[in-house]
């Protein structure tokens, strides 16, 4: 068995670990062995010397992110097992073998037993983002595990950790760890998208909205649809393909709008009545016509940390109130929040406050969330970040 440096917890702090919560806060630590450094793989013990868990140490508020609640003797094996089990799940839910969808999330951090790591699969290219120095140092193990699991299907691995680790001590650069840039064309429910993981936001496509984009298609036939914060046009492509009468796509990023245009054309939908607006959504909603049948509100995370939570909730309220003022009766609003620090009840509270302000009759038709390739550990409710409501507004 290899010797990993030890972290000893205070007496009353072991219970959270026994309940399989994957984070250890710095305040729970009694002693660190002197040889523990940022990024080290460590073992966590009680004061009495009982083994609790193994994980990656990082000085900071969350000091250890747990990868295993059983002693680990071979890290290569641990990574292989995690990737195998993640792949098995995606196969079981029909994603890894689908001929209509060839992009999905393979590793969703805590939800797949690899806290601090995201891996998205884009038709042969795996795009990884490590959110900690220690996880980034494990990248060769990840690449080896991906090679074993995917074999010749794996054409490239792009490490995009530089974008998220630029403020840390890590020497992370965005680069290919294997292979080189591929065409970037993927299929999602049969719709074609070109994904630019190098220039795009996150890993290139917001894969977490796949099922919700599909859900939208049930409401749009012959309707006038407004897709706000459209990014590369995901909801717009689905809406046009589902026979919307007219679609307006709004984003403040010129690049995003260029991708939207490309993706609409790639699906041979350019003949549709589709307008693209480069604008701030809050401004757009002030001046646009009030005749939309369906409005999609999918803003970026308004709050990155707890300190910004109140402001974020107020922004959700403002945005939803603006949409309620512009949707026809009866109309449909798909409203989302991807801020992890805003829990579902607070998000719904903000939407309710906006509804009250509008004075309209508003019913909840559906509660939306992140799909099965973005699983969360039941012991780590913080992992649920995407919340959405389908509302009927009269």
- Measured from the CB atom, the residue of 251 and 293 that comes closer to ligand SAH is 251
The number of beta carbons lying within 10 Å of the beta carbon of residue 135 is 26
CA distance 139 to 145: 10
Task: Single out the residue of 231, 292, 302, 385 in contact with ligand SAH (rule: CB under 6 A).
Answer: 231
CB of 204 closer than 8 Å to CB of 132: no
- Cα separation values, 3 from 53, 66, 72, Å: 14, 17, 10
Stretch of residues binding ligand SAH (CB under 6 A), selected from 25-33, 201-209, 314-322, 372-380: 201-209
- Measured from the CB atom, the residue of 182 and 201 that comes closer to ligand SAH is 201
Task: Single out the residue of 121, 206, 238, 316 in contact with ligand SAH (rule: CB under 6 A).
Answer: 206
Q: How many residues bind ligand SAH (CB under 6 A)?
A: 18
Closest approach, Cβ 78 to ligand SAH, in A, equals 33
- The DSSP code for 377 is -
Find residue 225's DSSP bridge partners: 247, 294
Find residue 346's DSSP bridge partners: none
Task: Single out the residue of 43, 159, 251, 373 in contact with ligand SAH (rule: CB under 6 A).
Answer: 251
- Measured from the CB atom, the residue of 174 and 201 that comes closer to ligand SAH is 201
- Measured from the CB atom, the residue of 245 and 255 that comes closer to ligand SAH is 255
Cβ-count burial of 137 within 10 angstroms (0-12 exposed, 13-18 middle, 19+ buried)?
middle
- Helix, strand, coil shares of the chain, percent, nearest 5, are 35, 30, 35
Closest approach, Cβ 171 to ligand SAH, in A, equals 29
Task: Single out the residue of 256, 295, 342, 350 in contact with ligand SAH (rule: CB under 6 A).
Answer: 256
Is residue 280 involved in binding ligand SAH (CB under 6 A)?
yes
Could you check whether the bond before residue 242 is cis, i.e. omega within 30 degrees of 0? Answer: no
CB of 282 closer than 8 Å to CB of 319: yes
Which are the contacts of 111, defined by CB distance < 8 A and separation ≥ 6?
374, 375, 376, 377, 380, 383
Closest approach, Cβ 284 to ligand SAH, in A, equals 7
Which position has the token pair 């709008």? 257
- Measured from the CB atom, the residue of 314 and 356 that comes closer to ligand SAH is 314
CA distance 326 to 353: 17
Task: Single out the residue of 23, 235, 302, 385 in contact with ligand SAH (rule: CB under 6 A).
Answer: 235
CA distance 149 to 130: 20
The answer to whether 288 is a known catalytic residue is no
- Measured from the CB atom, the residue of 144 and 253 that comes closer to ligand SAH is 253
Stretch of residues binding ligand SAH (CB under 6 A), selected from 87-95, 113-121, 169-177, 249-257: 249-257
Is residue 252 involved in binding ligand SAH (CB under 6 A)?
yes
Phi/psi-derived region of residue 359, left when phi > 0, alpha when psi is between -120 and 50, beta in every other case: left
The number of beta carbons lying within 10 Å of the beta carbon of residue 126 is 28
Residues 311-350 that bind ligand SAH (CB under 6 A): none
Residues 123-182 that bind ligand SAH (CB under 6 A): none
Stretch of residues binding ligand SAH (CB under 6 A), selected from 38-46, 184-192, 216-224, 229-237: 229-237
Stretch of residues binding ligand SAH (CB under 6 A), selected from 16-24, 92-100, 163-171, 275-283: 275-283
Q: Which of 103, 246, 288, 338 is catalytic?
A: 338
Chain residues in the site for ligand SAH (CB under 6 A): 201, 206, 209, 229-232, 234-235, 251-253, 256, 280-282, 298, 300
Residues acting as catalytic residues = 338
């Amino acid at each position: 068995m290899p010797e990993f440096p030890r972290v000893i917890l205070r007496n009353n702090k072991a219970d959270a670990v026994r309940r399989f919560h994957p984070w250890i806060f710095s305040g729970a630590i009694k002693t660190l062995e002197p040889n523990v450094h940022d990024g080290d793989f460590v073992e966590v013990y009680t004061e009495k010397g009982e083994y609790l868990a193994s994980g990656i140490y990082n000085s900071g508020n969350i000091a250890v992110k747990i990868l295993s609640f059983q002693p680990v003797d071979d890290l290569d094996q641990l990574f292989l097992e995690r990737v195998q089990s993640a792949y098995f799940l995606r196969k079981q839910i029909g994603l890894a073998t689908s001929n209509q969808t060839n992009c999905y999330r393979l590793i969703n951090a805590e939800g797949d037993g690899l806290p601090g790591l995201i891996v998205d699969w884009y038709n042969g290219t795996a795009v990884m983002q490590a959110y900690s120095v220690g996880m980034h140092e494990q990248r060769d193990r990840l690449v080896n595990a991906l090679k074993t699991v995917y074999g010749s299907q794996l054409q490239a691995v792009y490490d995009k950790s530089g974008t998220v680790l630029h403020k840390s001590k890590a020497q992370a650069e965005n680069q290919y760890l294997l292979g080189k840039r591929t065409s970037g064309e993927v299929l999602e429910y049969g719709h074609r998208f070109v994904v630019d993981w190098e220039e795009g936001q996150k890993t290139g496509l917001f894969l977490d909205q796949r099922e919700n984009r599909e859900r939208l298609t049930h409401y749009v036939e012959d309707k006038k649809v407004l897709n706000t914060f459209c990014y590369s046009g995901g909801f717009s492509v689905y809406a046009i393909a589902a026979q919307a009468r007219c679609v307006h796509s709004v984003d403040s990023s010129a690049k995003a709008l260029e991708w939207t245009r490309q993706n609409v054309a790639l699906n041979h939908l350019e003949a549709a009545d589709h307008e693209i607006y480069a604008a701030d959504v809050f401004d757009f909603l002030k001046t646009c016509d009030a005749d939309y049948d369906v409005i999609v509100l999918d803003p970026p995370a308004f709050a990155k940390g707890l300190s910004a939570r109140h402001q974020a909730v107020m922004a959700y309220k403002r945005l939803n109130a603006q949409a309620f003022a512009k949707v026809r009766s009866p109309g449909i609003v798909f409203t989302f929040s991807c801020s992890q620090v805003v829990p579902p009840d607070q998000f719904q509270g903000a939407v309710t406050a906006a509804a009250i302000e509008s004075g309209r009759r508003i019913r909840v038709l559906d509660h939306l969330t992140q799909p099965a390739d973005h699983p969360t550990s039941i012991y780590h409710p913080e992992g649920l970040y995407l919340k959405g409501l389908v509302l009927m507004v009269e």
